[in-house]
Amino acid sequence: MQKGYRGRLFDFKTSAEIHDLEKGFKYFEDGLLIVKDGFVENAGDFQTIFNKTAQSFEIENLGKSIIMPGFIDTHVHSVQTKAIASFGKELLDWLDNYIFPAERKYEDPEYATFHTKFFLKNLLKNGTTTALVYPSVHETSTSALFDTAMDLNMRLIAGNTWMDRNAPGYLLENCEASYKLSSQLIKKYHNRSRLKFAVTPRYAITSSPEALKLAASLFHEYDDLYLQTHISENRKEIEMVNHSYPNHRNYLDVYDDFGMLTERTFLGHGIYLEDDELKRISKTGTKIVHCPTSNLFLGSGLFDYQKPLHNNIQVTLGSDVGGGTSFSMLQTLQDAYKISAIKGSPMSPLLMFYLITLGAAKALGLENRIGNFDKGKEADFVVLDPDMNPLLKYRIEESVSPEDLLFAMMILGDDRIVKETYLMGKAVGSNQSTAGRNQI
């Protein structure tokens, strides 16, 4: 089964270097993406490809819409959607007041299934096709996430969250039980369909030393798991970690000591990391996930992108819903840009779109599968229609460069300009037409 999509086509070359993205991107004003059996068959200039193609197949004309690889959200909580936009607390109080009660409800399988579907639907309608996700401590929420993603054929990485202290009793679980549950879920879901497992101790405050040690040992039992946790998001959090781990030099040292820093480790936030912590992160190939809408919303602080960049650390981006205020990676880019502007070095539009497509795919070690339109890649893509936003349409009426187009889309755009999202060539999440679509 082969189908073509004609429109403006944008992606990055696999060889793209973060310091030289001007040479690393491809843009065709009249482009064609051909998908065959769920994989990219060809992508490039419409006329050139069309003239060479002997076979006849359906071509959908998307006009001036932009076809680009699906977005990758590397830090989001599937169990916090109900608590999004909750007023006036900083991280630790916000967790106690809003988040833990919200996560508790996912113990119920019916609740977990219904609300997880809503969560994934929101990712898709925002153009996000791959996500690194924190469910709750419960088997119910983690299974609901994997099962629903599998039904959708979505690329998803997740694992039950571990917490054995400093949270309400109803969410605590001793670490042997978390270990057992994670082991069972790995056997059931890891590498099945498009799923991967991430060992997920929430963070050093809610994990005892025994729990972190056990989580790290589970991670090292396999070659291809991921590990995700939070770090240095909020000053009070850092004080509390220093207090509960007095024998460690700094926050990062806690994770380092248990062998948790690896190329497959994703640390959320990292706003207040010191120079020696950044050096250690760089040396171990650990990734940092910048979550701008969340950092602004919770008043956590302003992430300085230049620091990891100078240390050759791979940074990715996360919506961090429900601390984050939008599922849209366009909105996430918008706030990342504003923070970088305040910090005195505005991030370029090419850099920003790289971070949510090929850059994130490389950080995840999935660049052979997703992230751009090279032949043989899984055909996860998004179609953006700027005309759906009248102000954006007005802004780009006159001819604009690809960079200017991208920039205007991320500053003014959101889910309303997502015309359709495709997973392996199948339409799954539209804001404009639902007829005949595989909607949840």
Q: Which residues bind Zn ion (CB under 5 A)?
A: 268, 320
For residue 432, the surrounding DSSP H or E stretch is: none
Which one, 229 or 431, has the nearer CB to Zn ion? 229
- Please provide the DSSP assignment of 341-360 as one string: HHTT-PPPHHHHHHHTTHHH
DSSP assignment string, 104-148? HGGGSHHHHHHHHHHHHHHHHHTTEEEEEEE--SSHHHHHHHHHH
CB of 252 to Zn ion, least distance (A): 17
Report the nearest approach of Zn ion to the CB of residue 351 (Å). 23
Q: 268 or 349, CB closer to Zn ion? A: 268
Closer to Zn ion by CB, 173 or 320: give it.
Answer: 320
Shorter beta-carbon distance to Zn ion: residue 237 or 320: 320
Nearest distance from residue 271's CB to Zn ion, in Å? Answer: 12
Q: Which residues pair with 315 in a beta bridge?
A: 288
Please, what sign has the CA dihedral across residues 50, 51, 53, 57? positive
Nearer to Zn ion by C-beta: 31 or 268? 268
Judged by beta carbon, residue 229 or residue 430, the one nearer Zn ion is 229
In the complex with Zn ion, the residue whose CB is nearer, 199 or 358, is 199
Joined tokens for residue 118 = 């809503």
Measured from the CB atom, is 43 or 317 closer to Zn ion?
317
CB of 76 to Zn ion, least distance (A): 8
Q: Report the distance separating Cα 21 and Cα 18, nearest Å.
A: 6
Contact 352, 309 (CB under 8 A): no
Using left for φ > 0, alpha for ψ between -120 and 50, and beta otherwise, residue 371 falls in left
Closest distance of CB 80 from Zn ion, Å: 8
Instruction: Give Cβ neighbours of residue 268 (< 8 Å, ≥ 6 apart).
Output: 75, 228, 229, 230, 231, 233, 289, 291, 318, 320
Beta bridge partners of 39: 36, 378
Question: Is the CA virtual torsion 410, 415, 419, 425 positive or negative?
Answer: positive
Least distance (Å) between residue 131 CB and Zn ion: 12
> What is the residue-wise DSSP string for 292-306?
HHHHHHTT-----TH
**Residues near 38 by beta carbon (within 8 Å), at least 6 away in sequence:** 378, 379, 424, 425, 426
For residue 67, the minimal CB distance to Zn ion (Å) is: 31
* The three-state (H, E, C) secondary structure of 201-248, written as one string: ECCCCCCCHHHHHHHHHHHHHCCCCEEEEEECCCHHHHHHHHHHCCCC
Considering the complex, state which of residue 103 and residue 320 has its C-beta at the smaller distance from Zn ion.
Answer: 320
Q: Least CB distance from residue 174 to Zn ion, whole Å?
A: 23
Query: C-beta of 294: minimal distance to Zn ion in Å?
Result: 7
